Structures are given as structure tokens and as C-alpha cells.
Chains A and B, each alone.
Chain A
């Protein structure tokens, strides 16, 4: 396998965002995933979200584990630093990176094998620590790189490509994220760009642990009749709780919504999240209700998508640790070394 770089030619007529960047500036190398892979759609949505938010591409750190999903950071934000770590251990690497420099934007990209099996612990602990990140799981319910084994998110009763039935219960990462205190929890579908792009944008703007589970069918091993992670199955069973747009504040977006049916959530950076409710009873600020709602619809075989929970007053790990505003990686000896006078005092206290 080789990498494929994209040609550097930019069409002069490409639309530019506030920073003067075009879509091309948010792209990476050409994907080597299978044609039609849901992960490539997620890549496209990440590119779109970053473009719309006018993020400086190099101010993003994109970190992943191992697997098909974890290859995707190579395919977006080519001017960003990427880190393809070890299987399931993306969250700890991202946590460390975030501790070193709180000023960057952290995108954690993982898969269902990566996060729900070997990395289940790290997923859980990064969420409960409220690391300021956007944690995206590209969830296809199958191990693609090793050719078709079930992952821990595969639904009980679903079938593999070879016709084997999964007898284990599935782990619902959204339910776990809600339970662990994630302050932004969403589920989407790789084939629903109109929903996924604003979700990613909102998650990036959110301060704290943002988690998005994206059902992303594996075209090679899990897109058949017996699968509950196939394109057809998800399209048929998708129940969107809301539609949303991100209003950046700099460039308000007028969305097509009826007065009285929109819920606006103010975020810490001044951006507002406008939720268009489909279900009149759905309250995206109620964690408990979100958990119940999720369980109820899962029992009906429905894949609930949309922003399921957001805490408008969220904080993050740096808040908890009460660290200085200056990124720790910029502190120098004069900031960090207590000096010889302090050492002499310590010596004196040890005699």
C-alpha cells in the first residue's frame, strides 16, 4: 500500500471562507479506503465543518488509533499534525496532547473496534475526564482491516457477511458517553451529511468532551441484508430527533425554522447551537431524558440520530486541574525551575 497525494492545483474560482481558505485547504491525501466506504463521507463532513467554521487547519491536532477509521485523519486537514497511535489508545494520547497545549483543537478519530473493544477503557476515561475534544467514532460494527469479524458494537442477532449470527450484546457508545458525563453527545449517519456537518461543527466549538457516534457502513464486510449497520438498514430505521445548524456569531446563518420550534443553545465561545426539534418533547439539555429516549427507541430497533445531549455550562480537564492559561508546552526554565534559593531551603529541611 502506498500513500496518494492530491495534486496541489486549486481552481481559482473556489469559494473561500472568512480566512480565505478553500475546501482544498482542508483536504488531505487521497483515501485508500474502499470505494463507497462510509468513513470517506465522514472525512468529507469533517472537511466541510472545518471550512464552515473557518478554522486554521494547522491549529487542529488529529489523533487516531488503529484501524480503517484511524487511517482517515490522513485524508483531511493535510496541513495539520496527525498521530496514528496504537490500537484503542487514541484517547490517552489525545489527553496528553491536550494537556500540553490547550490552545489547539483536538479531533479524535476512532472506530468501533478501537473504542468499544481494546480501547473501551480509554474511551470511558477520556470522556469522564472531560478532555476538550471532538471524539468521533466511525462505527461500522465490523473489523474491516482484518476482514469481517464482529466488533463490540455489532447488534445481537445481526449477521456477518459469511452468515454467522452475532450472539453477544452490543455496546452502545452513546449510552455510555451519556452515563459517563460527556457534555456533548450525538449520533449520526455517514450518509446524512446535512445532519453530520453541523454536528461536527458544534462539537468542535463545544468546550469539553464532545462525542459523536457515526454509523458508517463498511461497504466490503457489513453492508448486506443481515447487517444492522448497512446503508439500507440505517436509512430505514433512522429517527432524527432534531435538525441543527451552527450559528457562528461572526456570520449568522438564517435557517429555515418556524418561530417557537427552535431551541438555541449558547456555547462558551459565543457560538449558538440552533436545534430544530422534530420531536416536540425532546429536550437536548436533559441527560436523564436522553438516556431514556435512547433506550426506548433502541428497543424498537430505531437508530436515534441527532444531538442527544448538550450541557451549555460545560467545562474541561484544564478547568478541573486549574492549569495556567498559557500552554504548558511554551513554559520555559524561567517559568518552571524553582531556582537554587528554593533548593537550598529544601536541602536545609532535609538535615
Chain B
């Protein structure tokens, strides 16, 4: 018996699986998360994996949360499924007092390897698999399903729901289906016959999932590109963005073939590098196709010259940047929000780019879909800024929605008929409508009108080469006007006020969202009220400056070292930096509600005791 009371909790706990990369555990672990969803209980899972192919440690953490907190909880775990001898000590140490350790008990372990304040649950997984299977690969794979079966019994899960999931996964593959179900029951039966089931952690059926879906952000963004009309995708493999292009390929194969001819209504090219990928995007967009690439921070660095060209030559395009921890190679498989400045001002000279910050897969889908409208309307590059925590993790989110009656906004494109209109003047860089956005033509439009030369060098309003200072300045000022126009076209910030008026606010974005939702509750419990604003795009809407003006202090919560969003807000709005308090998390793990609540709460406490500015004055 442990010397600490075992944790007892229904539908509110964290289980972490410690595995060896390449052991085939991913599908069993994901099935565990999905099984809980089928009980009507929300889950928030996260992959925690190193940058390697095989052999090193990998973890999969499932937060079971009937309250629906979808951010990482932080702190220790309530149950550790320790399947990796390499990380045993660290894994055992990470269990909360009163928590549970699940391990393969085939070989006896010295008592020194356990803790006295946790409940140890041993299942001889290797012995069971070895006595059932002869094939080494089967032994490895089914061991994962056997521990899944044992967990069903220990956590009081409805095994029929798990069987149903396995049935869906192996539909049409009867042999695989029956062998997986068999393995599931091997584990479950062992637990029921040999262990005290259930333990203090339990899954109880609820109705808290509703019609929400469970999806990865990268796949959602790729699907958004399909719905948004992207026909050209050029990419170069890089973690954590590769699955965007892979998902786009998969979605297109299912959804984008001409029913009569079977031919593809899309073109996907794996470029030789990021430079080629963005070049292909620019060439395709220049020629009137909707094109995108997916990359990560190092890819953005490589693409930067071309990004400057697209800004100055005013060529549309979409870059999906799935951010990882930088700089340099950084931590390729760890999450951050650290490319904000690099993307906002990418390239030499005076440049500014439109950034979109989705909070979850549903918004990733929606923003990706509409990014092509934005790109073509504004004739500029649009950055969809996901980060690994959204891109490579399954998230529970609202169902995807699309208005199929809407037409694509192809922006200001002059047709041959328009060029022939009496009195019509075509100048590629003329600001006809005063919004900074000129008209363009596609190559091949008209035999004698509308052609122009696209270049990265300075030119006049009629696209004629010019190094005249006034002509250059005129063009640069129009580009600023265009960026101002973009303010009202990008998704607006979302604001939520505290229950009572408060002098304090918080700004956040992207994958911080679920942790912030939870943190607000924790802060309220501590007596701190905050109005909050979720920024969803750059350029910032005027309401961002208003929000800051309305509060004494505004916390800016982000996942990078230098407070990049804060820098951007200060720079673009001329705000006194003292009024924006940075709350920064950048160790590569997802930000948690506990971290936010502590950082803001501690600051608030200090403010109440000694209001620094007043004390000084």
C-alpha cells in the first residue's frame, strides 16, 4: 500500500505514456484518447517527441477533462504508463504523489525503482505477448494493444466502445480487426483477473463532447487549402510542417479528381528546397493560380528573399508556417510562437506582411481557406501562423464549416473585356480605387493591352523601370496604404470582458488560447479579474490599441523569449512598452494554465502591495 492516499478522480486526470520511438505505440495511445472521447468525455492529448526517427524516448500525454480544459495541465501526471526503461527514473519521478505507475512486470524490478507514495500496477506484458505471438513485430505492436486493454479495466472504460473504434479503424481488414480485439481482451482479462479494478482514476460516461471533432491542425489547414481553391502546392519536407503537404496530397486524392477523366485538379511538387518551393508558389500565383507552401522557421529564413519580391512586386501567395523552437535548428519537435517578427517583416528593405493566428484546427481550416481570398484581394503573401502544438496534435474543436455558395475572391484582375472598355487605363501599379491595391492582369490575357513586366526593382505606376526617388517613394507609400486596407479585411480580435470592470487586460494568440481560457478561471479564483483579447491577425485592428488604452496594464502572453507579439504591438501602435507586461513561456513545451495564472497572479499581487509607478512618484 502506498504511504499516500491514491488519487481519486473521475473524468479529470492526466495519463502519460512513455514509449520508445518506432515501437508502434502511437496508434494504441491515440486509440486510448479517442476511446475516452467516445465516452463523451473531452480529452486534450499531446505528442512529446524528440527529433529522431527511432530508438529515443517519446511521450504521449492525455489530459482527461470533463470540464473541457484543452490546454496542457502542467505539473506531474496522475498515471504513468512506463514502457521505456531508458526514461524510467524520470518517468517515475514525474508522477504526482498518490498517482499510479503502470509497467511491464515480466522481469522483476528492485523496490528501489519504485516510490512509496504511488500505486504500482504491474502487468507482465512481454510474457503475455510472447506466449501468444511468435512474430517479433506482432509482439511489439500487440503489446501496445494489450496495455490498452488493461487500462480499460483499470479505468473502468466501456470495452465495447474501444472495440467499436478498432472496428472502424480496420474496416474491411477482418484479420487485423479480430487480432487487435483479441489482444485488447488479453490485457483486459488479465487486469480483471489479477488486479484491483477499477483504480481511483475512472472514466465515466458523460455528454460533454457534443458534435465537436478531433483533428490535427496541419490536416485542418491542408483541408482549408482544398476548400479555399488552392491548386498548386510546392513544399520541402521540414518538421513540423511536412504533414500539411502530406495531408493536402491525401485530401486532394480523395476530393479533387475530375470525375470524367480521373485527372488531377491540382499540382503538388516537392521542391528541391524551400527557395524553389516559394518560387513555384510565386510563379503560379503570378499566373493566376491559388498556390501555397508549408514550412517552418528555417524555411522562412530561406524563403525570405522571395518573400520580399512578392511584397514589392505584389504577387499573392500563402505560406503556412508551423512554428517550432528556434533559432537555428533549435528544437525541431518542440512548440513555440517565435517567428512573429521574422514573418511580419520578412526580407530586406521596408516590408510588412499579413499574419493570421488561428487558435485551433477549426480556425486553421477557416483561416487557411480564406487566406487565398486575402492573398488575391491584397496581392501579397499571407502567412498562416500555426505552431507545433496546434499543427501536430489532435485537438477537440467545433466542426468544420464552409459556405459552399461563396465564390472565390480573385481580387482586382482585369480581363480582356475590361481592358477594351473605352477610357480604361491600365497601369499595373496605379491606385485606381484609393485603397492601395492596384489591378493586375494574368499573362496571356490580351493581344495588345495589359501586359507588363514584373520585377523586384523599382518601377513607376505603369511598371516601367525607374530609379526616380519620388516614383519609388510613391510606390512605397501606396504599399503602406494597402497594408492599412488589410486591417479591415483580416480576422478581427475577439474580446471578452471580466465579470466586473477591471483595470487589467491580457492579450494572447494562437495555441495559448485553451490555456488562457482555463487560466482566467484560476485567476478569478485568486481574486484577479482580467479583460482579454485574442489577437487573430497582423496588421492589428484599431481595437487592439483601444483595448490597451482602456487598461492600466495589459499582459501579453506568448511562447517565445523576446515577447515578439509585444514588440510588434509596441512598434506598430507607438505604445509605451511599460504598459505591456510580457508573460513568456519558451521551453518548448505547450504553455499551461497553471503557468499563466501563476505569472499573472504573482504580478498582480505585487501590484496590489506596492504599485511601483505610484511609489516612485
Residue positions of A touching B, CB distance < 8 A: 1-3, 56-59, 61, 63, 73-74, 78-86, 89, 91-101, 103-104, 121-122, 124-125, 129, 317-318, 321-325, 328-333, 335-340, 342-343, 346-347, 350-351
> Chain A residues with Cβ under 8 A from B466's Cβ?
2-3
Given contacts A125-B276, A333-B408, A347-B400, contact A97 B287 (CB under 8 A): yes
> Chain A residues with Cβ under 8 A from B271's Cβ?
92, 125
B455 interface residue (CB < 8 Å to A): yes
Say yes or no: B280 contacts A96, CB within 8 Å.
yes
Say yes or no: A92 contacts B279, CB within 8 Å.
yes
Say yes or no: B269 contacts A99, CB within 8 Å.
yes
Say yes or no: A333 contacts B279, CB within 8 Å.
no
Interface segment among B113-121, B445-453, B539-547: the answer is B445-453
**Smallest Cβ distance from A23 to chain B, in angstroms?**
16
Instruction: Report how far A324 CA is from B231 CA in the complex, Å.
Output: 11
Say yes or no: B454 contacts A83, CB within 8 Å.
yes
> Chain A residues with Cβ under 8 A from B256's Cβ?
336, 338
Specify which of B209, B275, B464 is in contact with A92 (CB 8 Å cutoff).
B275
B253-305 residues at the A interface, CB under 8 angstroms: 255-256, 258, 261-269, 271-273, 275-289, 291, 305
B232 interface residue (CB < 8 Å to A): yes
Instruction: Report how far A351 CA is from B39 CA in the complex, Å.
Output: 11
Given contacts A100-B284, A101-B288, A101-B289, contact A333 B454 (CB under 8 A): no
B75 interface residue (CB < 8 Å to A): no
28 contacts across the A-B interface (CB closer than 8 A): A58-B451, A61-B443, A81-B444, A81-B452, A84-B453, A84-B456, A92-B271, A93-B282, A93-B286, A96-B280, A98-B283, A101-B442, A125-B271, A321-B264, A323-B263, A324-B264, A331-B231, A331-B265, A333-B229, A333-B404, A333-B407, A336-B226, A337-B227, A337-B229, A337-B402, A340-B402, A346-B400, A351-B209
Say yes or no: B263 contacts A322, CB within 8 Å.
yes
Specify which of B215, B226, B287 is in contact with A338 (CB 8 Å cutoff).
B226
Specify which of A78, A318, A328 is in contact with B265 (CB 8 Å cutoff).
A328
B457 interface residue (CB < 8 Å to A): yes
**Smallest Cβ distance from A70 to chain B, in angstroms?**
10
**Smallest Cβ distance from B217 to chain A, in angstroms?**
13
Say yes or no: B444 contacts A101, CB within 8 Å.
yes
B548 interface residue (CB < 8 Å to A): no
Say yes or no: B263 contacts A96, CB within 8 Å.
no
**Smallest Cβ distance from A194 to chain B, in angstroms?**
30
Specify which of A56, A96, A335 is in contact with B447 (CB 8 Å cutoff).
A56
Instruction: Report how far A329 CA is from B284 CA in the complex, Å.
Output: 8
> Chain B residues with Cβ under 8 A from A104's Cβ?
287, 443-444
B111 interface residue (CB < 8 Å to A): no
Give me the 3 closest cross-chain CB pairs, A-B, nearest first: A96-B283, A92-B279, A100-B289
Instruction: Report how far A2 CA is from B460 CA in the complex, Å.
Output: 11
Say yes or no: B446 contacts A58, CB within 8 Å.
yes
> Chain A residues with Cβ under 8 A from B399's Cβ?
347
B160 interface residue (CB < 8 Å to A): no
Specify which of A101, A338, A351 is in contact with B214 (CB 8 Å cutoff).
A351
Interface size on B, residues (CB 8 A): 75
Say yes or no: A79 contacts B448, CB within 8 Å.
yes
Say yes or no: B464 contacts A3, CB within 8 Å.
yes
Given contacts A86-B305, A338-B227, A351-B213, contact A94 B283 (CB under 8 A): yes
Instruction: Report how far A29 CA is from B432 CA in the complex, Å.
Output: 26
Say yes or no: A324 contacts B258, CB within 8 Å.
yes
B223 interface residue (CB < 8 Å to A): yes
Say yes or no: B232 contacts A1, CB within 8 Å.
no
List the count of A-B residue pairs having beta carbons below 8 Å apart. Answer: 233
> Chain A residues with Cβ under 8 A from B258's Cβ?
324
Say yes or no: A84 contacts B286, CB within 8 Å.
no
> Chain A residues with Cβ under 8 A from B229's Cβ?
331-333, 336-337
> Chain A residues with Cβ under 8 A from B269's Cβ?
95, 99, 129, 317, 321
> Chain B residues with Cβ under 8 A from A325's Cβ?
261, 263
> Chain A residues with Cβ under 8 A from B273's Cβ?
121
Task: Describe B's contact surface by its main secondary structure.
Answer: loop
B59 interface residue (CB < 8 Å to A): no
Instruction: Report how far A350 CA is from B284 CA in the complex, Å.
Output: 33
Instruction: Report how far A318 CA is from B306 CA in the complex, Å.
Output: 24
Given contacts A329-B289, A332-B407, A350-B215, contact A99 B232 (CB under 8 A): yes
Q: Which residue of A lies closest to B408 (CB)?
A: A333
B309 interface residue (CB < 8 Å to A): yes
Residue positions of B touching A, CB distance < 8 A: 37, 209, 211-215, 223, 226-227, 229, 231-232, 234, 255-256, 258, 261-269, 271-273, 275-289, 291, 305-306, 309, 399-402, 404, 406-408, 441-448, 451-457, 464-467
**Smallest Cβ distance from A281 to chain B, in angstroms?**
37
> Chain B residues with Cβ under 8 A from A74's Cβ?
453, 465
> Chain A residues with Cβ under 8 A from B284's Cβ?
96-97, 99-100, 328-329
Instruction: Report how far A84 CA is from B458 CA in the complex, Å.
Output: 12
Instruction: Report how far A87 CA is from B567 CA in the complex, Å.
Output: 33
Given contacts A324-B264, A332-B407, A338-B227, contact A93 B444 (CB under 8 A): no
Specify which of A78, A93, A324, A342 is in contact with B263 (CB 8 Å cutoff).
A324
Say yes or no: B232 contacts A92, CB within 8 Å.
no
> Chain A residues with Cβ under 8 A from B441's Cβ?
81
> Chain B residues with Cβ under 8 A from A337's Cβ?
227, 229, 402, 404
Given contacts A321-B267, A336-B265, contact A101 B404 (CB under 8 A): no
Say yes or no: A57 contacts B279, CB within 8 Å.
no
> Chain A residues with Cβ under 8 A from B442's Cβ?
81, 101, 329
Say yes or no: A96 contacts B291, CB within 8 Å.
yes
**Smallest Cβ distance from A246 to chain B, in angstroms?**
23
Given contacts A122-B276, A321-B268, contact A86 B451 (CB under 8 A): no
**14 further interface pairs, Cβ-Cβ under 8 Å (given A96-B232, A328-B265, A329-B287):** A80-B451, A83-B283, A84-B457, A86-B456, A89-B276, A92-B277, A100-B285, A100-B289, A125-B271, A328-B231, A328-B232, A328-B289, A332-B407, A350-B214
Given contacts A333-B406, A333-B407, contact A323 B264 (CB under 8 A): yes
> Chain B residues with Cβ under 8 A from A57's Cβ?
447
Q: Which residue of B lies closest to A3 (CB)?
A: B465
Q: Which residue of A lies closest to B397 (CB)?
A: A350
Say yes or no: B265 contacts A324, CB within 8 Å.
yes
**Smallest Cβ distance from B209 to chain A, in angstroms?**
8
Say yes or no: B443 contacts A81, CB within 8 Å.
yes
Q: Which residue of A lies closest to B459 (CB)?
A: A3
Say yes or no: B265 contacts A100, CB within 8 Å.
no
Say yes or no: A58 contacts B213, CB within 8 Å.
no
Instruction: Report how far A3 CA is from B468 CA in the complex, Å.
Output: 12
> Chain B residues with Cβ under 8 A from A94's Cβ?
283
Say yes or no: B288 contacts A96, CB within 8 Å.
no
**Smallest Cβ distance from A119 to chain B, in angstroms?**
10
Given contacts A3-B465, A323-B266, contact A95 B280 (CB under 8 A): yes
Say yes or no: B283 contacts A100, CB within 8 Å.
yes
- Residue among A93, A98, A317, A347 with the highest chain B CB neighbour number at 10 A: A93
Say yes or no: B279 contacts A78, CB within 8 Å.
no
Q: Which residue of A lies closest to B258 (CB)?
A: A324
**Smallest Cβ distance from B169 to chain A, in angstroms?**
11
Say yes or no: A100 contacts B309, CB within 8 Å.
no
Say yes or no: A335 contacts B265, CB within 8 Å.
yes
**Smallest Cβ distance from A67 to chain B, in angstroms?**
13
Instruction: Report how far A321 CA is from B231 CA in the complex, Å.
Output: 12
Q: Which residue of A lies closest to B402 (CB)?
A: A343
Instruction: Report how far A58 CA is from B215 CA in the complex, Å.
Output: 46
Say yes or no: A323 contacts B215, CB within 8 Å.
no
> Chain B residues with Cβ under 8 A from A122's Cβ?
272, 275-276, 279
Given contacts A121-B273, A328-B232, A328-B289, contact A82 B454 (CB under 8 A): yes
Specify which of B223, B268, B275, B443 is in contact with A97 (CB 8 Å cutoff).
B443
> Chain A residues with Cβ under 8 A from B467's Cβ?
1
Say yes or no: A85 contacts B287, CB within 8 Å.
no
Q: Which residue of A lies closest to B369 (CB)?
A: A337
Instruction: Report how far A342 CA is from B255 CA in the complex, Å.
Output: 8
Instruction: Report how far A321 CA is from B305 CA in the complex, Å.
Output: 28
Say yes or no: A343 contacts B447, CB within 8 Å.
no
